[in-house]
A and B are shown apart, each in its own frame.
Chain A
């Protein structure tokens, strides 16, 4: 049971740590995977990115850590041209060479972006990203300077050794063994690696100081971490340096005394000078760490007092905003600094809406139904319906008037119709066509109309009467005559017309 637990724990809980440890290898494989088959039709297929990357990293370590200077693009260019000529025998035209060197540099720098390595975290059950950079850049006086990152140095060192909490201690133990076995040349290589490691730690110290100067709280955590992983090994490292120095001195004394190692004396001197250099650099690292400690104390006490001051502290405010993790709060600082915005404009979306759409924002969709069309109504049929409807109204007014007054003139009829339907009826075409139809006959008898219709108007009159029994009974005996008087009626805004007299006969009652 306990074995199963250990197994599961090793698989799940140690996975993230393992992934973080191997992350530094990821950029190498990513870059090494770059094929030159597609580049310029495979003209440079012989180039090997894995080799080139390792060479470039070594070059950066040399410049950044040994010569303690940043690398300019021109320096990198010269180095890369040398590699191309010497190791691959590639000598293209100058323009192509420039393009090729830049192409390689962009690949190594991943176009300035970090290499992102994705892995599954079984504890959180989520995919996570790890970001690694090989080359960093900074700009000074309009010149871009490049430097190797601590991840890249770690990767480079790891390709030839076993990683431990203190590489320096590990290397020193190895050095002790090499000196004991009189492998001085191997010892020199080890001391060089120690120098690299010291350079990496100095770079890490600068990173910690940078974080401390901008965010004390986070910086303190980094500083603690740095102390735990680096500073605590100093004593042991110093002791080992002293021990190895003693071993070399012994070897030198023995060699001089016995003359038996005469051929190896040069190697011993070389090792001694490398070790002296390493001890000096290690001493420098120690003083850098002391300096870091002093600066950290100063920054922490400054931050403590800053919190008690009455003035508005921008650094402190930023730390508080960052704790909330809400970037939009920064507008509280920036907005008041800006000038007044007095130019008001419609935003592009509104302008687009105004140009694209009519009064309504969007058209209402038309509902499509599957109804079958049963009847067609033509325009003239609609007009017939309208005419019939209007004639029925006029007839209704006309019959009532004739029945009640027995003798009427056209003007009376007009007034009665106007009262019923409004004055505009006298400008209506249906009204005049009704009069024309009415005047087609001079004598009308309702009984005759019911039995036989002669005109279009009579048909409508018949329909009108037959609609209601009561109506029919009222008008069934109505008989009337129409005469013209020969007088013209002229009214403002209304057409000229001849006056009419309509008289009901005696038996109409």
Chain B
């Protein structure tokens, strides 16, 4: 192995974990991208390092993207860290944020191979999407016993969402990212997704970035089997628990 190749590979890896964009379109990192793309040894080292660090590396439209995947103790976020980053306090709010982010994804993609041709989303689009996704659950919580609502259940998320007013005041021109209203909550999630490089904002319209597309079209395609197994396991677990309690 040539020292030069190792050095280049380390340079690429270091840039990736620092969140820098390695792209043919970026003049500062175009040479690194070419090294990765044209030099087999550099490619092998970078791929190996990512694999050993439990990171997933994807190439999308001449740009490299890295994902920490699920349960990455070194590069992933803990619930507490996420709550601090987004600006929320309890897990219930965090799960609502997940739900909103999921709503954003589904506005752009129905599945990993089909885009919806939606160019951008606005705050009100996501509020309507979340309303729709939670509609049947909200109908269920129309009649419920308070102690029956588990903290991590969708009923809890729906109840939290339903109790939020649409806006705090009638003044809607400036909506602050805050936990006090649906608009504020969605704005808070938008800000976080923008910070994570998944969306870019222009005049209140949020456009998907290359990173969002890269991960949706690659990561979920690659790990779909495992993701379905996790849900299957959870469903069986839930059925088992239900039978036990009966």
Contacts and interface: CB of A to CB of B under 8 A. Distances in A.
Contacts of A321: 231
Interface stretch (A2-10, A171-179, A189-197, A335-343): A335-343
Contact of A222 (B101, B136, B172): B136
B166 A320 contact: no
Contact of B215 (A214, A332, A337): A337
Nearest to A77: B170
Contact of A325 (B150, B162, B164, B170): B150
A81 B98 CA distance: 42
Interface string B41-75: 00000000000000110000000001111111001
B17 A340 contact: yes
Interface in B95-128: 95, 98-99, 101-102, 105-106, 109-114, 123-124, 127-128
Contacts of A112: 164-166, 181
Interface string B203-227: 0100000001001100111011001
A332 B70 contact: yes
B66 A340 contact: yes
Contacts, number: 215
B106 A318 contact: yes
Interface residues of B, number: 88
A340 B60 CA distance: 18
A311 B124 CA distance: 29
Nearest to A73: B170
A311 B105 CA distance: 15
A329 interface: yes
B133 to A, nearest CB: 5
Interface of B is mostly: helix
A334 interface: yes
Contacts of A33: none
A144 B172 contact: yes
A332 B157 contact: no
B132 A334 contact: no
A121 B143 CA distance: 10
A277 B98 CA distance: 47
Interface string A298-335: 00000000100101111111101111111111111111
A316 B111 CA distance: 9
A324 B235 contact: yes
Given A113-B162, A127-B145, 5 more contacts: A114-B163, A311-B112, A312-B112, A314-B102, A341-B76
Interface of A: 16, 20, 73, 102, 109, 111-114, 121, 124, 126-132, 137-144, 207, 210-211, 213-215, 218-219, 222, 306, 309, 311-318, 320-342, 345, 347
Interface of B: 17-19, 55-56, 66-72, 75-77, 80-81, 91, 95, 98-99, 101-102, 105-106, 109-114, 123-124, 127-129, 131-133, 135-137, 139, 141-146, 148, 150, 152-157, 162-167, 170, 172-173, 181, 183, 196-198, 204, 212, 215-216, 219-221, 223-224, 227-228, 230-231, 234-235, 237-238
